[in-house]
Structure 1
Amino acid sequence: MLCLTALPVMAQDLPPGLVSAELLPGWETPQGHRITALRLELEPGWKTYWRSPGDAGMPPRFDWQGSANLAQARLIWPRPEVIDSGGERTLGYHRQLLLPIELLPAGPGPIEPRVTVDFGLCLDICVPAQVALVPPPPGADPDPRIQAAMALQPRQSEQQPDCRIDPIADGMQVTATLPSGHGDDDSDVAIEMADEQIWVSAPELGRQGDRITARAELVAGTGKPFAVDPADLRLTLIDGGDAVEFDGCRMKD
């Protein structure tokens, strides 16, 4: 494990592909929340992954157990890039990840955050990496870099896709039809479950008239069919420089 106090981890301490890693100082809101951001700077050609990277990627995992006065850490993911890795489609980031994080206090007084992050780094091969980070004290004013990254999070849609959910041999299959007017032939879709222990395949995309369809398999640890609440599904449409999130879906026969 790589440990530090208020300083970023520099290149000589890190695995190949990672130049530096840090939690930015950020600022405190009038409500007493702390805004910070994980900043990973990568070597040219290297990439790291989004929260739901697809079949081949390694989603980041965050452990905040060493923190004091912390009730919740909310990750505000900027929209990902669609990356072709040897013919496999993954979702992630080249050169840099700047991930805003909103920290909510457990009680009165300042939050003292400390996090261990496990994540993947890829060039021709993928390697696991881990960093342990503590941010410097918060600044007096909002950080425009973090604000810019927050503005890149997917837009939230009030609509819901139409869904079919069917059992398969080792789990369930969901087929989602996005609302009309969303996406084109160059778009990509991610499907996620609220339960992160359930594996979700990279969707197969198709069309139903003028609407995009996305079909994915959901597999739990039991390796058997299981009940799926459509409200627990989240779909993200990545369309060039834009992204839209749909929470839940409407069941169709």
Structure 2
Amino acid sequence: MMRRLLLSLGLAVALAAPVAAQEPITAELRPGWRLPDGDHMAALHLTLAPGWKTYWRAPGEAGIPPLFDWSGSRNLAGVALLWPTPHVFWQSGMRSIGYKQELVLPIRVRARGAGDIDLRAEVQLGVCSDVCLPETVRARAVLSPGATRPDPLIAAALASAPLSRGEAAVSGVRCSISPARGGLALRAEIDMPPIGGRESAVVESGQPGIWSGEPEIRREGRTLITETRLMHMDGKSFALDRSKLRFTVLGDRQAVDILGCD
């Protein structure tokens, strides 16, 4: 009888004890491998709890752009982020662009000198489920020149990158610019075959401080027409460098990355 009572009390305490909340996101740096030219291929691996998502470099009107800080690293000359194809999410009529479940973000790392690279990342990003939260994640890895075997997870992320202009058979990008209230109106006519499903587009100015609005797109045969407005974030006047404009066309299963106007 006493044993039964103790077991019952133990079960009641266990049921009443608070369950530790699962972190919405965790991060690690995958150390990857050294490339023949001396650069190193690593990756930031973000794992998201069920129902959570995080955002691409251009997150859309409902997203939060990630910010990267590598200043704690040693023997580091520079990094290049090689983003895999993101997904488009719609909520309450607003579009956001990002990833769910996980993101393996390949990083091409350039060393300042010979030897190991002590890579340290601090990333400020947004994660969303029913609510959106700002998160800061930190990760560290030592990148050794003796590591030469490719990481299959990083290789798969590299393979899922958007198609280039040539790979997608883009034959022309014609851009026209006109004055608009508070900035410039941009119209781009992109000659390319459809990439399947509901197409969406992202326009990035490629210039610090110049913001691009959500584009409107439509098709006229093999031509995808994208129209948007460009504004300076401080309300200043600006000159637009058309060679730095970046258009990403997103479909159901693939994407195309197009740099500059013809």
Q: Is the TM value for this pair above 0.5?
A: yes
Shift of 1:180: 3.8
Dislocated runs of 4+, deviation >4 Å: 136-140
Count residues with an aligned counterpart.
237
Q: Determine the structure 2 residue equivalent to 1:90.
A: 96
DSSP 3-state at the match of 1:24: strand
Identity over the aligned pairs, expressed in percent? 38
| TM-score scaled by length of structure 1 | 0.86
Which of these residues, 179, 184, 205, is aligned with residue 167 of structure 1? 179
| Correspondence 1:154 to 2:166 | no
Instruction: Measure how far apart 1:99 and its partner are.
Output: 0.5
CA offsets, 1:172-220, max 9 Å, x none? 2211111142446611111112124322112111234542211122121
Instruction: Work out whether 1:237 is the aligned partner of 2:249.
Output: yes
SS of the equivalent of 1:78 reads coil
Structure 1 residue aligned with 2:36: 30
Change (3 A) 1:185 1:104: same
The answer to which structure, 1 or 2, has the higher relative contact order (CA under 8 A, 6+ apart) is: 1
RMSD of the TM alignment (CA)? Answer: 2.0
| Alignment partner of 2:150 out of 122, 127, 142 | 142
Aligned partners of 1:236 and 1:243 also within 8 Å = yes
Return the alpha-carbon distance in structure 2 between the equivalents of residues 179 and 133 of structure 1: 42
Between Structure 1 and Structure 2, the one with more helix by share is 2
* TM-score using structure 2 length: 0.84
| CA shift for structure 1 position 76 | 0.7
Q: Which ranges of structure 1 fall in alignment gaps of 5 or more residues?
A: 1-11
Find out whether 1:17 has 2:24 as its counterpart.
yes
Structure 2, gaps ≥5 residues long: 1-19
| 1:153-180 Cα shifts (integer Å, max 9, x gaps) | 1111144421111222212221111114
- Is contact 1:184-1:212 (8 Å) kept? no
Range with bigger deviation, 158-167 or 68-77: 158-167
Give the drift of 1:107: 2.3
